[in-house]
Each structure stands twice: as C-alpha cells, then as structure tokens.
Amino acid sequence: MLASWMYVSRATFPASDANAVIEPIARVSMRRNADLEVTGALIFAVQHFAQYIEGPPAAVDFLRTAIERDGRHRSLHTVLDDRPECRRFGGWRIAYRGLATYVEKTIVSVQGQPTAETGDAAARLLRLFREFSLPDAR
C-alpha cells in the first residue's frame, strides 16, 4: 500500500538565505527518503515551498510529522492526502530548484484555497513538479 502527501508552505527565512537553508534540507532528504523508500519532488520559489512525497504509509506519516514541525517554513496547507495505486515519481528522489516568480504565484494561489477545493490545484502542482524538477540521475 502507498500513501502520498502534497502541501504548500511559506518559508520563514529571507530569500537571500535560500541556498544556504535549502541545500542541507535537500541533502538530508535525499538520504533519508531513499532509506524510507520515499520518492517525490520539492520546489522552492521565491518565498514558498511545494512538496509531494509518496511511499509506504508509515514512512510518509513519519516524514509528515517531521516536516510539519520544521521551523524553516510555516502556514502549511495540505493539497493532497491520498492512497495512490502506484508511484507518480518512482524514478525521482527529492529534486529542488530555486525558481521564478510565476511558479511562486501558482503556489500562493493554492495556499489561499479551501482544502475541499484543492483537486485542480493538486493537478496544477503535479504538472509544475514534472516541468521543474529533475529526475533522479542514479
């Protein structure tokens, strides 16, 4: 059985610190997610994150708890909380790219939405992940 979780959030650090803050997150995530058999994608754009993770339900729950209490971001808004049949990002570990304002606009528009209406938003974000993240190069 598989679980998936997608959220958007707002960074708590200044944009000028982005590389210094995110590089260690990406490094830890790649190792830990691989150990947990979790795959997914992470986008950071200007001041916001969007992340999608999928894997064994216990592993996704465990990571979700850690991510939700991480002080490097706040205002987490869940966009998708699902039990998918198969992986969407099977060949991917966490990929990260610092990105342009228009990507951020998409993320921000999702953050303001009531949770019941996130279906469309989830589809839009999944497209963003596919366009802007890098497949696992292993």
| Rounded distance between C-alpha atoms, residue 45 and residue 50, angstroms | 8
Give yes or no for residue 53 binding ligand FMN (CB under 6 A).
Answer: yes
Q: 15, 28, 58, 123: which one contacts ligand FMN (CB under 6 A)?
A: 28
Closest approach of Cβ 102 to ligand FMN, in Å? 20
| Rounded distance between C-alpha atoms, residue 31 and residue 10, angstroms | 24
| Rounded distance between C-alpha atoms, residue 113 and residue 115, angstroms | 6
Give yes or no for residue 94 binding ligand FMN (CB under 6 A).
Answer: yes
Q: 23, 57, 61, 66: which one contacts ligand FMN (CB under 6 A)?
A: 66
Give yes or no for residue 39 binding ligand FMN (CB under 6 A).
Answer: no
Both structure tokens of 125: 């974000």
